[in-house]
Amino acid sequence: PNPAREELYIKNIDPGECSLQQANIYTLLGRVVTSECMPTGKLSVNIKSLAPGVYFIELKTGKGSVIKRFIKQ
């Protein structure tokens, strides 16, 4: 994955199909470092306060959830 510095932009969420409800960010050890409720239409997460490293983001929608890995520079 491409490294990010300040914002993670979420693609492939079709508001007509499902809406993004929550984004949780975890360390490699599984500790939650941030959890954010996503208002309708918001498709980015601020990661400015995270230390550089590898993290996982869990995206929850009305149809389920998906977890992706990302790198914070």
Please state the pTM of the whole predicted model: 0.84
CB 55 within 8 A of CB 34: no
The amino acid present at 29, given as its one-letter code, is L
Residue-by-residue pLDDT tens, the chain, 73 positions: 578 999 998 876 565 666 788 999 999 999 999 998 887 767 889 999 999 999 999 998 888 899 999 999 9
Query: Cα(52)–Cα(10) distance, rounded to whole angstroms?
Result: 20
Count of alpha carbons within 13 Å of 20, Cβ hemisphere only?
Answer: 23
